[in-house]
Structure 1
Amino acid sequence: MEKITLDAMRNFIIENELTDSVAISLHPDSFDDLVMEYLDTNGNQIERPFEILGIEILQDETGNVPTNKFNILDTVE
């Protein structure tokens, strides 16, 4: 993905048939941009945890995810 947008994330989730057994971790800048777009689209309302199509979207706190990239995390233990 060149830039992580709400539409791009929705399309990625659908195309890859992701289920709630995974979460997506984003670089903090990409996470902030996505949250702001989500708020604009949804009238300044956001659910906690932040999800798109049932997939939890997390902010990377490890420093391992580059800007405009993401990691898919297995949430099943």
Structure 2
Amino acid sequence: MEKITLDAMRNFIVENELTDSVAITLHPDSFDELVLEYLDTNGNQIERPFEILGIEILQDTTGNVPVNKVNLLDTVE
């Protein structure tokens, strides 16, 4: 993905037919930019947990996800 944006994330979720059995983790910089765009688009309101099209979006805390890359986590145990 060239740049993580709301539209790009929506397209990624739809194109990959993601369900709530996964979560998406993003590099902290990408996550922050996405959250700021989301807040701007939604009148400074954000849901907890942060979701797009029902898919939870998380900030990577491991340092393993590069900027502008998407990592999928299996949420089903």
TM bracket, shorter-chain basis = over 0.9
Aligned counterparts of 1:58 and 1:70: Cα–Cα separation in 2: 10
1:69 Cα deviation from its structure 2 partner:
0.6
1:65 deviation in Å?
Answer: 0.3
Aligned residue-pair number: 77
Coordinate RMSD, CA, aligned: 0.3
Structure 1 residues 13-61: Cα deviation after superposition (integer angstroms, max 9, x where no partner): 0111100000000000000000000000000000000000000000000
Q: Which amino acid counterpart does residue 45 of structure 2 have in structure 1? A: Q
% of aligned pairs identical?
90
**Structure 2 alignment gaps of length 5 or more:** none
Deviation at 1:70, TM superposition (A): 1.5
Letter in 1 for 2:11: N
Taking structure 1 as the reference length, what is the TM-score of the superposition?
0.99
Q: Which runs of 4+ in 1 moved over 3 A?
A: none
Q: What residue is the counterpart of 1:32 in the other structure?
A: 32
Scaled by the length of structure 2, what TM-score is found? 0.99
What runs of 5+ residues in structure 1 fail to find an aligned partner?
none
Q: 1:1-77 to 2 correspondence within 5 Å? A: 1-77=1-77
